[in-house]
Amino acid sequence: MSLIISDILHHLHINNINEAFSTGSNWGSSPDAAVKDIFSPTDGKKIASVKMATATDYNAVVESAAKAFKTWRTIPAPKRGEIVRQIGEQLRVNKKELGTLVSYEMGKSLQEGYGEVQEMIDICDFAVGLSRQLYGLTMHSERPEHRMYEQYHPLGIVGVISAFNFPVAVWSWNAMLAWVCGDVCIWKPSEKTPLTAIACQHIAQTVFKANNIEDGVSCLVIGDREIGELMANDTRVPLVSATGSTRMGKAVSAAVGARLGKSLLELGGNNAIIITENADLDMSLIGAVFGAVGTAGQRCTSTRRLIIHEHVYEAFKQKLVNAYQQIKIGDPLNENNHMGPLIDQDAVTLYLASIEKCKAEGGNFVVEGGKLDGDAYSSGCYVKPCIAEVENHYQIVQHETFAPILYLIKFKTIEEAIELQNGVPQGLSSAIMTQNLREAETFLSYAGSDCGIANVNIGTSGAEIGGAFGGEKETGGGRESGSDAWKVYMRRQTNTINYSKTLPLAQGIKFDL
């Protein structure tokens, strides 16, 4: 085991990673249980070996969760919120260690690792307040001496399938809200980043135990695609929240839909920033570069396309070229570096193939890409961020490449720019850089961006937990985190109370006996 990992697990009081999460079953007891070796993309070193769940393990976890739900839903929401508050406090105490673990296991910069843990803390704070605001509605009945209202009840088991690029934050967006709503959670993290999940599960489970809450409210199932398929097809799991590729989301949606379950999908992004002739180019540069190279281009909100007005195109292109020459690539635990590795060598292969496809379609690279070699890049997962001049209709541009490849596209009018922005299958995040009020308001209007997120004078990457996060079209239509996203974790019920001495029927219907 890596010394870095040993120190972190020791700080978290985790002695055995395969016993650090309580699931209501004897984890990995099946003779069919496989063991997966986990390697860091940072230095290529083996981090640990983790037992993978079998179908038997999964079923035991679901049974444990179903049992726990019957008790957890009876606890008043503000008291559930108090437990979530305590989880948030433990995340604060362990922020440095968790952030370092995220950075080392996934490869994002240390500051981004800390930032991801801060997102978890923020959603805990949000959920605590929400626990006293699970509001319904009241309305007037057309019948005398009747009252009507709506209320929300917990769904039951919420399945959470998360991706490697945000190995813990997205789970927290779902789990903290689901818990205050009275649901229990089963989390299937990416098999590429299981240790961060184990650490978070251990923290949550420690808090639940201290509050005398039985096992099963917080469950973890580390497994491969088979576990995800079991969850998607499981009628005992009324809601499946899945984050990942559009291909994966379509499979989950079809399986859950076939049993008339609910799915919350956060899928691919092909995000663009429109830079108008009225933009502050220096400010635009910051948003564009961070959006393109942050997390090595492995965010669903990463900036993939820059749609630039022809009058400022050459000037802004030169600013980009100069900025890219200053990007420092290397060990993400070194805070002087801007960009770390891709998640694994398969991702490098896809990155290189995308560059070749772009060139074959006519793309002109103004900043060349390629794989980085040498002792500092011994894991084989480090690449160069690159920039290509393209046309929006190129097949490779229409596709989401999870890597630091930035496409430049020229436009003449704001209407053309918005059409280019919307002219891809995905619809997650978008932005416009302008100091012109009419351009900004047009971009935000019904005739503007078709994405779930539309920003003015900030980039596409990153989101505050106060707003609902999600996108349209092939991004899946889901909404997580803030605003009224909590409603997806509950079932809605309309109630009518008759406090009269008669039973009048609606719409004046007569039914005399």
**In this predicted model, what pLDDT tens digit does every residue of 377-408 receive, in sequence order?**
999 999 999 999 999 999 999 999 999 999 99
pLDDT digits (tens, 9 = 90+) for 253-309: 999 999 999 999 999 999 999 999 999 999 999 999 999 999 999 999 999 999 999
> Are 3-267+476-493 and 271-467 equal in CATH topology?
no
Closest CA to 176 of 135, 218, 226: 218
Q: Which CATH architecture has domain 271-467?
A: 3-Layer(aba) Sandwich (3.40)
Known catalytic residues are: 266
pLDDT number for residue 306: 98
Q: Which residues contact 52 (CB under 8 A, 6 or more apart)?
A: 28, 33, 34, 35, 36, 191, 222, 223, 224
- Supply the pTM of this predicted model: 0.95
pLDDT number for residue 126: 98
pLDDT digits (tens, 9 = 90+) for 28-59: 556 678 899 999 999 999 998 999 999 999 99
Q: What residues does each domain of the chain span?
A: 3-267+476-493, 271-467
pLDDT digits (tens, 9 = 90+) for 88-103: 999 999 999 999 999 9
- % of the chain exceeding 70 in pLDDT: 96
The pLDDT confidence band at residue 6, using thresholds 50, 70 and 90, is confident
CA 119 to chain centre: 11
From residue 195, alpha-carbon distances to 22, 228, 279, 466 in Å are 15, 18, 43, 28
Order of strands across the sheet that contains 271-275? 364-367, 386-389, 405-411, 303-309, 271-275, 429-433, 453-456
Average pLDDT of the chain?
94
Q: Residues 315, 281: contact at Cβ < 8 Å?
A: yes
CATH topology (fold) of 3-267+476-493:
Aldehyde Dehydrogenase; Chain A, domain 1 (3.40.605)
